[in-house]
Amino acid sequence: MSQFRPLVQHSGELLELSYKFPGAKFTDALLRATFFGHFCAGQDVNEIRPVIRKLESAGIGAILDFAAEADVEQPRDLNGVDQNLVSARTYAYDGEAACDANAAISRHAIIDASEAASAGEPAFVAIKCTALGKPELLMRMSAIIVQAQLLFHTLDGPNLSRAKSRYLERMIDYPTLSAGLRNAGVDATEEEIQKLFNELDQSSGDGVIDYVDWVSFLDPFDLTMGPLTQFIEEEPLSDNEKTQLRNMIGRLESLANDAAERGVKLMVDAEQTYMQPAIDHLTLNLQRKYNRDGADVIYNTFQCYLKMSSDRIDIDLERARREKFRFAAKLVRGAYMVQERKRARDKGYADPIHDTIEDTHVNYDAQVTKLLHNNHLASFMVASHNEKSVVNTVQQMQDIGISRATGGVYFGQLLGMCDHVSYTLGANAYKVFKYVPYGPIHEVLPYLIRRAQENSGLMSGAQLEMRMLSTEIKRRMFG
């Protein structure tokens, strides 16, 4: 069915009509036999166990993913499918109790993943911050974080022209900070400014403040920056928001503890750009705690269709090097293009996404190469259906001498998609995983529609072409 592109492109409207007539019972049965049965493993952890065992027999691991979806900017339509959700991947906020319930679901997934994994093999569970807290809070946090970042660029003044796109090459020395604060109207003594400078420089102690020093000064629990808070234009978090933030951090910490104890790796999924700074902030603080002594428990996600993705990876690699924790990431191309571009047009800001798909491909492969050459610092997953990216990664692993068994390089594809790549990698002992989504049928409809639409392009060729492609991949990878 997913090869009939006109049918797939209008699947949302057709499903909405089908739920009205002939009704929910018939439509749910149809979905089980088609989209749901192909792209989802089941409605709960009990239903997905046979799928996990089947993958394991082919040398493929599982990334468990509770796949309910909603859009933070749209009301949930329980009777049909909101078309905005097709490109979204965000939980609706139904109160703190619902967030606790979502955390419990993820906890069960951690237990199930640890029990299903073969001895000595890694296990993964995907989580989303919008399942564990209020999306609007993540938006507020992101706005504050962005203001704090912009303040650095305001104060570094003349250094701006030295490296406009290289965050790590821009420095603030003491005279620059002092002059910047005085130009901003700060009434402070030299002694007070020197104390502030020393606090900002604490992480590196090299006599200059760079971007990593600066953002490390942001308090993880209330997003204040000491005396610099007055320059952040966004309203500070309210007491209620601080409580919600602490609740969210508590849920994340609890899941991270459970994962670490059971040998499971947590992948924090990327979301929309207007929430991502907060998600990065939360994930980074988990990595500081749990990715110690070579462990890679917490993985962040980088969407390489974003123009800022290369700088973000550079910054986080440097932070991991400086603070002595392991960088861990999942690299994807991106899943929110329609939504992001529409919002950029509506809000009047620059499109955050690369201008062409070719630019995205080039950037994706460049980030893979960067992380392979920083293998001593980084573990990462090549989460891609692009055969060229997979083949290039395998070739570079061989050239550099990175072990397929213990090198910390993983591959990931979605259940029901790109099986010819996944099974080839599994048969040749590469660490490959399938995203195994599950959840109640009504709540995973947006996910199902998006998977079908993506798959319609991947599966448009004949089966003979797929067999030929698989043969070529095997030849190029393994001789």
pLDDT band at residue 465, thresholds of 50, 70 and 90? very low
**Is there a common fold for 5-135+238-478 and 146-231?**
no
Q: Where are the domains of the chain?
A: 5-135+238-478, 146-231
Asked if pLDDT for residue 303 goes beyond 50, the answer is: yes
What are the tens digits of pLDDT across the range 90-115?
A: 666 779 999 999 999 999 999 989 98
Question: How far is Cα 393 from Cα 399, in angstroms, rounded to an integer?
Answer: 10
Let me know the angle formed at the C-alpha of 144 by 143 and 150, rounded to the nearest 5 degrees. Answer: 90
Select the more confidently predicted residue: 240 or 162.
240
Instruction: Give the mean pLDDT of the chain.
Output: 84
**What is the CATH superfamily name and number for domain 146-231?**
EF-hand (1.10.238.10)
Select the more confidently predicted residue: 161 or 9.
9
Architecture of the domain defined by 5-135+238-478 = Alpha-Beta Barrel (3.20)
The pTM of the full predicted model, rounded to 2 decimals, is 0.85
Average the pLDDT over each of 21-30, 365-374, 438-447 and give the range with the smallest value: 21-30
Residues facing 268 on adjacent strands: 127
Average pLDDT over every residue of 446-473:
55
Average pLDDT over every residue of 178-207:
85
Show the tokens assigned to 189. 């003594």
- pLDDT value of residue 462: 38
- pLDDT value of residue 88: 46
What are the tens digits of pLDDT across the range 313-357?
A: 999 999 999 999 999 999 999 988 888 999 999 999 999 999 999
